[in-house]
Structure formats: C-alpha cells, structure tokens
Copies of this chain bind each other. A is one copy, B any other.
Amino acid sequence: MQADIGNALDGALGLDRAALDDLDDRVADAHERIASGRRESEHGYAALNLPETCDPEPIREAAAGFDPESVLTVGIGGSALGAATITDALDSPVDAYYLDNVDPAWVRDLLDSLDLSETVLNVVSRSGTTAETLANFLVVREAMTDAGVDWTERTVVTTGAEGNLRAMAEKHDLPALDVPEGVPGRFSALSTVGLFAAAVAGHDLDELLAGAASEAEKLSGSLYDSPGYAYGAVSYALAERGAAVNAMMPYAESLERFAEWYAQLWAESLGKDGRGQTPARALGATDQHSQLQLYRAGPADKLVTLVRPRESADAGIPETELEGLEYLGGSSLGDLLDAEFRATEASLAAAGRENVRLEINRVDERGLGELLYATEAACVLYGELAGVSTFTQPAVEWGKKAARGLLGGGDFPEADAVRGKRTLEID
C-alpha cells in the first residue's frame, strides 16, 4: 500500500511540512507506546499482532466441514463488519449474508430468500449476550428447525472462552472458534471473527494476513516510513486544525463496505472525551454527484480520504453516434473512473480542501489485508496522539441498559429516563 499525503499540506487548514516534521517527534513516542503494548499483548494493542498471532488453520478447518451455497453471519458491529468488508470486496460462488440488524421485515425477507439446508450459520458474539445477535440467532435457529434443517449440523459459533454460546457449543458439539483475547470487535477483521466467512467463501486467508504483515513491518518511529502511520498522523494533525470530518471515499463499489468498517473503527475508537473526528462514508465516482459540492465549497472542516485500486478488470465503452460524446467512445469505464478520481482529487486540492490518496494494487486478499491493517494502525496512532482510550466504548452502555430495562430484563434507572422523554410534537 501507498499513501500520498501531498494534498494534505498547505491547504485551508494550514498544515505544513514543518508542522508534520515536528509531529514526527511525537509519533516516535507514540510508536514506542504502541510497540510496548504489542510486546505485552495489552488490550487493543494486541490487535496489531494479528498478522502473526492469528492461526488460519482452525478457521479453515471449521469451514472445511461445509460446502454450502451461502454463509450467514449473525453478529453486529465489529462482529459483522470486518467479515462483511472482506466478503463484499472479493468474488466468490458462495454468497455471504449478514444479519446485523433486528428489523423484523428485513430478517424475515432474508431468511425466506435462503435455502437454509445449504447455508452455514456463524453466530458471533464474544460475550454471548449481545441482545440483537442472540435474538436473531434464536429466530434463525427456529427457522432452520421449521425448515426441517438440523441447526446443530450447520452452526458454527465464534465466541469468548465462557458464556452462553460457548456452553451451547459444548452441549451440542458445535464447531467453535475463539474470539482472540485483547482484540476489540472493531479491530478483529483479521482474526477468527473476520476470517471464518472468508474461509467458507474460499478466500486466501494466508494472503490476507500476509498483506497485513507487510504493513506491520513498515511501522517505525517515523510517520514517513509507513502509509498507516502517515495517514493516522495527518488525520490527527488536520483534526487538531479543524478537520472535524473525515470522509472515506473509495473508488470501487467493492469497497463500499470498507468505508462502513472504517466508520466504526474511527467513531468508536476516537469519539470520546468530547473529541474525535466524525467519519463520513462516501463512494467514488457516485458521490461526486452528491457530496462533492459540500466537500469542495462547504466548510473547510474535512479531510477527504480517496482510496484507489491501481488495477482492476475493465470494460470498453462502445463508439457512439451521440453528439458531443465521441470522446467517450473507444475509451473504457476504467479510464473514465480513473479520470473522475484524479479530477476529484485535484478539484479538492484546487479549492484548498485537504485530501489523502491511499492506493493498493488490486482489491484482492493482499490489497485488502494491507488496507485493513494500515487503517487500524492509523487509528491506533491517532488515538495515541490524541491521548484517548482507543480501545474502549463506554458511552454505549447507557443505551444497552435502557433497552434491556424496557424489555423487562431488569430494573435500570436508564429505562425510567426513556419513559420521561421530553416531547414537542409537530403534526
């Protein structure tokens, strides 16, 4: 992977090379902290060791027992997004689906569309108590039984060492994968959590991990040595200067879910203590016709991150009789997409709007492994520089308790607060 940060300098927010050089001293300290955390396998930091510590063999073994039409992952947040990012990006004859919401109509529609006898079910929850995931699991399990499918023959669990799902796996002798210790969900794409569906879909786990390892090797005490740290340092420096928003805009439909994965990584890791850059999801070239007006002419409060695969399959544009469009005929969709990419990048720069280009060779296992790892490294470095607790998400607990109280799962004062909602209704 390569990062080009040329357009992040000397824009409206005033970051210049001298300031970045100054920041590099702090990057050295932050790197020491990160390296120490990795050596001790501390909570969170351990995620950056996954290219070495994740053993793909048990994952492949758990997948090898099936030859399904589809793999259905039941999980939410980090228990779904990493796997979905990988399987959405790569082609496979096995379809991968994700039940990561509890919308009843949508759950029903998805289950109705699947041949459950040809589906592998992977239920993913470290604790075994995530309400959305367990509710969906109960619904899917019943649907399998209703369809005459023995769910114990088609279910794999990915969970912690203890809890409901672990006990269930032991009781029914289900294949069970371990959620690694010290790896928060949003950093678990390159572990059992993110790789089981990829294995069922036939993707090359070794290449995914090798891509990640190649970026891990570049990490050093200088932001100029690795794309991951360079991106993290620039994001942090621009956020300090007013880039409240970081828009992730890959120029590949297959990376649309990557932007969603990034949004969780960035929001949950950095959004605390009244600080944190807000991730915005975008997609090139489509969002040129939606978000570009704002990015270019709205507030100078954004970094736009453009992701470009250097090579992909192409499709020719036929010659045409249509007036004024002769220039398109004989070109290709790939040429057009790349021209749009470069035009958008330059268009932002010409308006003084900071942007960064992240490049991988192709959207394949290696490129994805590089991209996921480098983005995680960027996030960890940003968190270190900002002095936040990167690997926790305490603010979501309030709502979990409130929801549980509302459903009769115990007495929680948060549920009373819900009932006391202040209203000003306009019909």
Interface of A toward B, CB cutoff 8 Å? 2-9, 76-78, 81, 100-108, 128-129, 131-132, 134-136, 138-139, 141-142, 164, 167-168, 185-186, 218, 223-227, 230, 244-245, 251-254, 260, 263-264, 267-268, 270-276, 278-281, 283-286, 288-302, 312-318, 320, 322-325, 327-329, 331-337, 339-340, 342-347, 349-351, 393-396, 398-400, 402-404, 406-410, 414-415, 417-418, 421-427
Contact = CB atoms under 8 A, between A and B. Distances in A.
Contacts of A138: 317-318, 320, 322, 325, 328-329
Contacts of A6: 421-425
A175 B365 CA distance: 45
- Give the number of copies in the complex: 2
Given A104-B337, A138-B318, A275-B299, 9 more contacts: A103-B312, A131-B336, A244-B299, A245-B245, A271-B298, A296-B396, A339-B403, A343-B403, A346-B402
Given A285-B101, A298-B274, A299-B244, A4 B331 contact: no
A289 B394 CA distance: 11
A141 B320 CA distance: 11
A164 B320 CA distance: 11
Contacts of A272: 293-294, 297-298
A265 to B, nearest CB: 9
B254 A105 contact: yes
A272 B299 CA distance: 8
B336 A283 contact: no
A424 B7 CA distance: 8
Contacts of A104: 312-315, 332-334, 337
A226 B24 CA distance: 53
A427 B357 CA distance: 12
A325 B244 contact: no
Please indicate which of the listed interface residues A76, A218, A263, A418 has the most CB atoms of chain B within 10 Å of its own CB: A418
